[in-house]
Structure 1
């Protein structure tokens, strides 16, 4: 019997632009603030939770959808250990950008953030649940799954087309240089002194200014990027121990603790779902 507290990840290498996560009992699932490179759409299937999103706080309950722009810091956690279940769809940002552009919703094929954070709309929620059921269904054909995703997201993008968010202020060049440096040296030990030298800021000013523009302190940004790197490597089938070292963690246990803290799943759970999905699709449906 499956443990309802353990997350289920759906992926299909033939649909690399979308990934689904399902949690039936999320009372033990707690997230630290984090971000994704993908655009994310969540559905609360049971109970209530607190949705922290780029400085705002929302109380969401069963039947609500939550929308997360790529690279926006967020966290969603249960309230007072009450029953809580959810689905989360992660959509490749470039793929979704192209979908919006081809639908005539963007003037250029460049990503534009969406202002809406929550949708308490039963119709859109019901449609989302139908997509999830389709993707998770082992007997559903590939074409059916692809069609369901494209039809729903196209319709939703039309619904949200008039709700573009204000463009995010561009970070000063010296702060962007710090962010780029952190990514380029993510597998190494980075000192605050080095970052101050590159930015020309004092330690306190650098931390405050960086958090204002990126939603993280430099250290939290580095850890978040390391976990994102770890996800990509695990999707490629890399061993957990090798991924931990390449991502810049001191050892595998440290990687496991941090991965679970940010994503509420262990690297083994995340990677095992991928391996199971490869087996399930090996028949070539």
Structure 2
């Protein structure tokens, strides 16, 4: 059986656990629901055009653009009118990148601060990103070379982004932050709107509006997104899909499959196969 042209490629290497790369050669059939990641993300539009929704803003992006996503910021990037579209996405562990920025003198303390840039249109950085992606995907490239290229690229990019104009975001109310942490803690359980209203003192309508304004999601959508993130983490470890579905709080595997595909634009099995590919990459890049 041949692999469909729009099947995503996920690159991971256990010896470089703080980075993951996704490549989609034909994204015309890819469609994302609003979602977020616990890590910092950087995308490159290789071909075609797409929309980029980032919290409450919308951007039109095309070939040569880099899109920058802070941890936990709601976003969705989708093709326009079934036009040709291909892209790369890199996901970097937030704490690792925080330490890199701190050691470079770009942060006063080793605590994450959001970056203000959403879209970077700069051929130099686009070309360097593509070069890095080729290096990571190259099974003949040594792991030390991959890590060196990665650190050099991200160190330089963090300095570049530190010079970009600041677009200050409004602060999130403490009560909403506390509610999001409550959902994080009990994501695998049934978290009712009534419970969240009791904890916050808000009416249902006010809670939904305020929460969506702060995080880009309704409380329920935030909960499902968090469950999908938990599922991704377990799939990376090779856990069977049916077991992952129940561990992440879904009622059954089909429910998990649907929610996962809407937010990751890949099936759980496609994502999980990246774990098997790790072994191939690790063996070939020694």
TM-score by structure 2 length? 0.96
Q: What aligned pairs does 1:183-202 form with structure 2 within 5 A after superposition?
A: 183-202=184-203
3-state SS of paired residue (1:281): helix
Kept after mapping to 1: 8 A contact 2:140/2:284: no
Corresponding position: 1:135 with 2:127: no
1:21 matches 2:22: yes
SS of equivalent residue, structure 1 residue 228: helix
| CA-atom RMSD in angstroms | 1.4
How far did 1:167 drift?
A: 5.8
d(CA) in 2 for partners of 1:190 and 1:71?
A: 19
Aligned-pair CA distance for 1:168: 5.1
Which of structure 1's runs of 4+ aligned residues deviate more than 6 A?
Answer: none
Distance in 2 of aligned mates of 1:105 and 1:197? 41
Q: Deviations over 1:178-214 (max 9, x none)?
A: 2222222222222211211111111111111111222
Structure 2 match to 1:171: 173
Give the structure 1 partner of residue 101 of structure 2: 100
Matched-pair contact (CA < 8 Å) for 1:182–1:222: yes
Q: Distance in 2 between matches of 1:48 and 1:78?
A: 6
Question: 1:134: how far off?
Answer: 0.4
- Check conservation: 1:114, 1:165, Cα contact below 8 A: no
Q: What is the alpha-carbon distance in structure 1 between the residues aligned to residue 195 and residue 20 of structure 2?
A: 37
Aligned pair count reads: 284
Secondary structure of the corresponding residue to residue 280 of structure 1: helix
Match of 1:225 in 2: 226
Deviation (angstroms), 1:239: 1.2
Structure 2 vs 1, CA of residues 284 and 88 (structure 1 numbering), >3 Å: closer, same or farther? closer
**Distance (Å, rounded) in 1 between the aligned partners of 2:143 and 2:167:** 34
The reply to whether residue 113 of structure 1 matches residue 119 of structure 2 is: no
- String of CA shifts for 1:255-279, please: whole Å, max 9, x gaps: 0111000110111000011112223
Q: Does the Cα contact within 8 Å between 1:210 and 1:217 map onto a contact in 2?
A: yes
1:257 equivalent to 2:258? Answer yes
